[in-house]
Structure 1
Amino acid sequence: MNVEYRKATPEDLEQIWDMNIADNNGNERWRMWKDTYISYNQNGDAYTFVILCDGRPVGEGTLIFSPECGAVSGRTELADTKTTANVNALRIRKEYEGRGYISALVHMMESYAAQNGYKYLTIGVEARETRNLAIYLHWGYDKFVMSEILEEQLVLYYRKALNK
Structure 2
Amino acid sequence: MEQQQIDLVKQYLQELRLPEDITHKQRRYLQKQAHKFTIYKDNLYRYNTDNGIIRKVLNKQEAEEIMYSYHQHPLGGHLAYNNTLHEFEMVQELKEQMCDLLATNINHWAHFRFRRPNNTPESVTAYLAAKQIMLKAIIPDYRLYRALTLKIKQKDNWARIVGDSSGTAGICDNRSE
Q: TM-score scaled by structure 1?
A: 0.24
Rg bigger for which structure? 2
Q: TM-score scaled by structure 2?
A: 0.23
Task: Judging by fraction of residues, say which structure has more strand.
Answer: 1
**Greater relative CO (CA pairs within 8 A, separation 6+):** 1
